[in-house]
Structure 1
Amino acid sequence: MDADLYADYRQLAEDVRAAQDRMATIRVTAESDDGLISATVDSSGGLAELSLDPRVYHAPDSTALARTIVETIRRAAQNVLEERFAILARYLPADATPETSDLKLGPFLHELDREANGDRR
């Protein structure tokens, strides 16, 4: 492999790993419209914290409460996806969107390493 191309591969891999590290630290909190529910999700979109204001128990509609909790978690997860996308946008096609992009970097980094090491399979 050409030395310049190898250096380009290595630099790209280093940049993508740095982006991966930044994405791993993302935590986003969203609140329900009424401010009574707060959900924090981690970088993978998994629920990390859920806070319920005691006033949520004053309303007897458990179905509405559940719906609001789920919507608040979804809102936080969508914000995580958008933050992850913003970090990686420079590596993606111009028409890419958060919803249509695979933002998992492991397979991409594996392929970069394989190419950089001359394994062309």
Structure 2
Amino acid sequence: MEPVDYERLARDVRSIRERVAAVRAGAESPDGLISAVVGGSGELLELRLDPRIYRTADAAGLSADIVGTVRLAAGRARAECLVLAWSTVPTGPGAEPTDAGFDPVLRELDQRITGGGGR
């Protein structure tokens, strides 16, 4: 890469970081009694519990519904962040296939195997 490409890449990464920080994704439980909003880093920002949840005394069920709703919101936020990140991945002829989930792990393994450091 030429120095100009590094500068562009640095700008792109800063832009993605700002856009990820602005991500807000929400989800609602199937019964509509629970809603959650999660940020781009997966942090829970809002949790709304409809007062009707108190009509049944099922703490385990309520917990499971809350966790499920938050996980759904987090999955949506993660998907939105991946779309943002993919905007900087090279495409076209000569571009290596990229797997955002496994590439960091494979890179770490390569470094350990070749003695390139790592943790």
TM-score (normalizing by structure 1)? 0.73
Name the SS for the 1:91 alignment partner: coil
Name the SS for the 1:75 alignment partner: helix
Give the number of equivalent residue pairs: 98
1:11 aligned residue: 8
- Amino acid across the alignment from 2:19: R
Determine the C-alpha separation between the residues in 1 that align with 2:103 and 2:83: 11
Determine the C-alpha separation between the residues in 2 that align with 1:22 and 1:96: 21
Q: Which runs of 5+ in 1 are unaligned?
A: 103-121
2:74 aligned residue: 77
2:110 aligned residue: none
Determine the C-alpha separation between the residues in 2 that align with 1:95 and 1:60: 48
Give the % identical residues: 40
Q: How far did residue 59 of structure 1 move? A: 1.3
Q: Deviation per CA, 1:50-109, whole angstroms, max 9, x where unpaired?
A: 100111110111110000001101111111111100001133464525x4466xxxxxxx
1:22 aligned residue: 19
Where relative contact order (Cα < 8 A, 6+ residues apart) is larger, the structure is 1
1:96 aligned residue: 99
For 1:37, which of 34, 38, 43 is the aligned residue? 34
Determine the C-alpha separation between the residues in 2 that align with 1:42 and 1:90: 19
1:61 equivalent to 2:58? Answer yes
Name the SS for the 2:87 alignment partner: helix
Q: Deviation per CA, 1:16-65, whole angstroms, max 9, x where unpaired?
A: 21111111100111100111100111121111111001111101111100
Q: Which runs of 5+ in 2 are unaligned?
A: 90-95, 105-119
Q: Is the 8 A contact 2:12 2:88 kept in 1?
A: no
Calculate the aligned-residue CA RMSD, in Å: 1.9
